[in-house]
Amino acid sequence: MSEAFDLYVTRPGQAAPEAVATPRTRTQTAGRIEISNLSKSFGLHKALNDVSLTIEPGTVTVILGPSGSGKSTLLRTINHLERVDEGFIQIDGDYVGYRRKGDKLYELKEKAILKQRIHCGYVFQNFNLFPHMTVLDNIIEAPIVHGLLNRKQAIERAYELLDTVGLREKANAWPRHLSGGQQQRIAIARALALNPKVMLFDEPTSALDPELVGEVLDVIKKLAESGVTLVVVTHEIGFARQVADRVVFMVDGAVVETGSASQVLDNPRHQRTRRFLEKVL
């Protein structure tokens, strides 16, 4: 039986989400994310507490905050890797993980959820490549399984993506023979193989040696001009300053500050944001 809960809307007296930056020179019209009154608990711990955000298509949003602030949980709810307790998420007007009937939301079957995830690529901290497949097979698997491309088309697309991440020569390598930075770049190529509207990055450099961080961030910077909506959880303040259209700062499961990179990083309004930045800058 599908889970059902009452449809949550903006509460009386609650401020509407802040206006956000529009894409700089991008023309993407798909990939708009609307997060409305989202809450999620694990036992007695409230990981997300009434989070509302609107992320415009083609923009880059960087989510910052101390460990345990709910950043990764929020990211996982966007493509329904984590079910929510209250509120809802929509991408281009479609409810993520649920269908609406009257004033209630009912959880979709797993097959329908998997179909939704085609539009929402996810890059994990620890790469999650299939160890029994070559690099090429890792990339072509999903487009073929989902019936988006035949094998020949999938291979052509895979080589295009390998060029994008600078690893064409590794097409026939096994993941165990790659460095951490190379594995993460292949993970990005694999996520892009489904031509998603949205790309989610969960601390993509946290498992890397410091000298490998730059090569992964360079790939994400290139994607920032591609028109895909990017949401990046990271501790890389320099990356946020260079690439983000919008920075979101979270503490204790709540959004305490949001604005342009220059506003949040150089002139934060919230005392908790200032304390965090003093420690990491």
The angle subtended at Cα 177 by Cα 172 and Cα 183, nearest 5°, is 85
Whole-angstrom Cα distance, residue 281 to residue 270?
A: 16
- Output the pLDDT for position 225: 85
- Output the pLDDT for position 16: 36
Whole-angstrom Cα distance, residue 55 to residue 19?
A: 9
The angle subtended at Cα 245 by Cα 242 and Cα 251, nearest 5°, is 95
- Output the pLDDT for position 28: 60
Pick the closest to residue 235 from 222, 247, 223 (CA basis): 247
- Output the pLDDT for position 26: 47
Q: What pTM, to 2 d.p., does this model score?
A: 0.89
Size of the chain, expressed as the number of residues it contains = 281
Pick the closest to residue 159 from 173, 144, 175, 139 (CA basis): 139
Whole-angstrom Cα distance, residue 100 to residue 69?
A: 30
- Output the pLDDT for position 7: 52
Average pLDDT, the chain: 90
Whole-angstrom Cα distance, residue 281 to residue 279?
A: 6
- Domain extents in the chain: 128-195
- Output the pLDDT for position 4: 57
- Output the pLDDT for position 237: 93
Q: Which residues contact 99 (CB under 8 A, 6 or more apart)?
A: 105, 106, 108
Query: Can you say how many angstroms the Cα of residue 238 is from the centroid of all Cα atoms in its chain?
Result: 19
| Alpha carbon distances (Å) from 242 to 10, 108, 218, 279 | 33, 38, 11, 20
Q: Which residues contact 37 (CB under 8 A, 6 or more apart)?
A: 8, 9, 10, 11, 50, 51, 52, 86, 87, 88
Asked if residue 137 lies in contact with residue 174, where contact means CB atoms within 8 angstroms, the answer is no
Q: How many CB atoms lie within 10 A of CB 133?
A: 14
Structural element, H or E, at residue 39: strand 33-42
Look-up of token digits 């905050």: 65
- Output the pLDDT for position 44: 93
What 8-state DSSP symbol labels residue 262? Answer: H
Residue 51 DSSP SS3: strand
Torsion of CA 232, 237, 240, 243, to 10 degrees: -120
- Output the pLDDT for position 96: 95
Residue 101 DSSP SS3: strand
Q: Residue ranges of the chain with pLDDT lower than 50?
A: 1-2, 8-26
- Output the pLDDT for position 248: 98
Residue 47 tokens, joined: 């990981």
- Output the pLDDT for position 226: 86
